[in-house]
Structure 1
């Protein structure tokens, strides 16, 4: 069951229907709207040929039967984070394609202006039963499978949990931009359960639920025709858990909006959701020890605990809009990135602002940070290891050159991402005989 949303995010009063997108006041579950972008002119593309539209975006050519009918899928559109911004960059390429998602919040609407958003029946459950999202977890696999993509030529899922599990027809090409195989089902399984602080019975129930979801996740991974990983780190995890190969396209960072400032202040900066696995407590402990000023932007379930750990030199600013966040990035001494991430957009944003990054030596940051040029690494996930690296940074920070830092960030700009994505999609559609 699906519910179409108005572009501004409100749920329509029309009754939910199975399979179909609202268009001009009517619903046809058999013939989805013609959602496409195609090149100016009527010609075919060579595999390396990308035409650029006047606004700088590469486009798809026309299909053999006319327009390519496209839909997008994202797990949840309830907050604006790195994954949601990636979906926003993808949606810019296909401005008429509807976006299917399990749950939606209007605050995300700014990323998708005038876009048709289609939500699952879980949206109504949450609205009327006032259920926290985590209590909907047992039903999410069923809900994602309820979406009907009959008639679409191409479905692109932006996936870190359930979106890759959609069911499509044999004629539909499903490309999954995979932010990560679901961490709490795989490598972070035991850590996630321990963080819930459940009693013995609660743990057993959660073990059983996640076990069943892990089986579903593995089985449904075979429904994807082409995987795209956000980093080599994620590519390795897709191979290990799904036994699937994948291409690599690094996520987009809007470097055009982030430029270096003429001067900077003396505070260190963290921009992050405040959850245990982000390891913000390591940075707090290190800055407490060295009495260094630390500014923390973000909110989350771990906020109360972290505030109790923080000394006098540490400030929590809560949520900040993009404009304020950029100002803090431009004016910080350096960004601290203490967690293990699959890619890490914040370090690249920091580099776009010309600021060095101090990060844990594991995960996607090994592919974005040039040690000694754009930042430094600490080797162990401990406060002592981070403290040692901060001391080293204080001695060597004058060695970092703004121009070299920003040059590295430009390798991850949005236009590069969109061009690489269109090229891959074009090749995949050609291989399937749709172009």
Structure 2
């Protein structure tokens, strides 16, 4: 049984790339087809994997800003010849699900999200990229209409969808009218541990992008004067650092060891954006630390109120301030928090994925038309 893995792009490691790593551990002989890959910025089993990139990347030259290539990525993902495989497993939040497979090849898509920038988040992204009004905004509007048509049409190429959360399963049904089985993404529980050392800082581990709402956390901690550590980089890094007072410390992109240590010793982890699922809150919980999260999106499926954390209802300074003040008077059990996170562990994830693929492949082979 020949299996190929298809991934949107591999510019650096993130949550989707951890999922891809688990797929590779399940199927170590499977090649990975992806639009671009920066090998210096990936790690683990992916570092030595058989990665096949599209013609968007010349002579393995690393791509600094892969987003600029997006208009060409739909064509790039369609260019791969996958005719020799029995199963294609795509790992997609954008174009990977659009890979073209023959009738005898089963295509399963593990969907992190329908394209965020094409559907209900399109106004937010378009406003940032083109501003309001003007020729650029109008051209972008026409372009996104074409992207939505492609995104919807290419969903029909998938035989079975897996959603990373109930939240995403609802969006798959809304935009594609396809049912999806939910298998939550894996958490590297064995990497993280509980510490007896309780330091005074709050923690954010995140890509520094607008929709993550790190600006909200900075506004609140500027006001409260409490220590906040932010790990991660991204396009909004300079803007966010310019906003922050001295009680807020930016560490940039850090190693797993540094991240692990900060998770284990923080007072609480902040999750201020709306995510389709969100791995970082579970990594904090695997370290025995509570989470203060915006009450929307995937956090509703991972944070148990008053047991592993608490929520704030609106992305406003007042609401987040009130949640932090409420947290000051609460107590949490580190071991109960970690026990909750372990239900999302890697081995459980891989077992569910393999079982699903085996079951559906048998069903696919026996299908009659």
CA distance, structure 1, for counterparts of residue 282 and residue 18 of structure 2: 14
Verify: 1:339 aligned to 2:268, yes or no.
Answer: no
User: Which residue number corresponds to residue 216 of structure 1?
Assistant: 150
Report how far residue 253 of structure 1 moved: 0.5
Residue pair 2:12, 2:42 contacting (<8 A) in 1 also: no
CA distance, structure 1, for counterparts of residue 152 and residue 364 of structure 2: 24
User: Which residue number corresponds to residue 107 of structure 1?
Assistant: 40
Report how far residue 109 of structure 1 moved: 4.0
Of 168, 191, 197, which residue of structure 2 is paired with 1:234? 168
The two structures have a TM-score, normalised by structure 1, of 0.82
Of 260, 264, 267, which residue of structure 2 is paired with 1:330? 264
CA distance, structure 1, for counterparts of residue 48 and residue 56 of structure 2: 23
Deviations 1:188-246 (A, max 9, x none): 00000111244712112211211111100000001000000000000000000010000
Residue pair 1:275, 1:301 contacting (<8 A) in 2 also: yes
User: Which residue number corresponds to residue 421 of structure 1?
Assistant: 353
Report how far residue 433 of structure 1 moved: 2.2
Moved more, 173-182 or 100-109: 100-109
Verify: 1:386 aligned to 2:311, yes or no.
Answer: no
Structure 2: 5+ residue runs without aligned partners?
none
Residue pair 1:335, 1:350 contacting (<8 A) in 2 also: yes
Deviations 1:326-380 (A, max 9, x none): 0010011100000001111000000000000000000011111110000010000
1:308 match: secondary structure: helix
- Structure with higher Rg: it is 1
Report how far residue 133 of structure 1 moved: 2.5
User: Which residue number corresponds to residue 30 of structure 1?
Assistant: none
Deviations 1:256-281 (A, max 9, x none): 11110111200000000000000001
CA distance, structure 1, for counterparts of residue 43 and residue 248 of structure 2: 31
User: Which residue number corresponds to residue 12 of structure 2?
Assistant: 79
The two structures have a TM-score, normalised by structure 2, of 0.96
1:432 match: secondary structure: helix
Residue pair 2:13, 2:43 contacting (<8 A) in 1 also: no
Moved over 3 A (4+): 125-128
User: Which residue number corresponds to residue 253 of structure 2?
Assistant: 319
1:92 match: secondary structure: helix
Residue pair 1:272, 1:298 contacting (<8 A) in 2 also: yes
CA distance, structure 1, for counterparts of residue 67 and residue 246 of structure 2: 35
CA distance, structure 1, for counterparts of residue 52 and residue 296 of structure 2: 37
| Structure holding more helix per residue | 2
Deviations 1:268-323 (A, max 9, x none): 00000000000001111111111110000011111111112111210011000111
User: Which residue number corresponds to residue 139 of structure 1?
Assistant: 72
Deviations 1:85-109 (A, max 9, x none): 1100111000010000000001244
1:168 match: secondary structure: coil
How many residues align structurally?
A: 365
| Paired residues for 1:180-191 under 5 Å | 180-191=113-124
Verify: 1:173 aligned to 2:126, yes or no.
Answer: no
User: Which residue number corresponds to residue 164 of structure 1?
Assistant: 97
2:43 match: secondary structure: helix
| Paired residues for 1:2-401 under 5 Å | 68-111=1-44, 112-124=46-58, 127=61, 132-198=65-131, 200-396=134-330, 399-401=331-333
User: Which residue number corresponds to residue 342 of structure 2?
Assistant: 410
CA distance, structure 1, for counterparts of residue 216 and residue 318 of structure 2: 8
Structure 1: 5+ residue runs without aligned partners?
1-67
Structure 1 vs Structure 2 CA RMSD: 1.6
2:282 match: secondary structure: helix
CA distance, structure 2, for counterparts of residue 141 and residue 434 of structure 1: 31
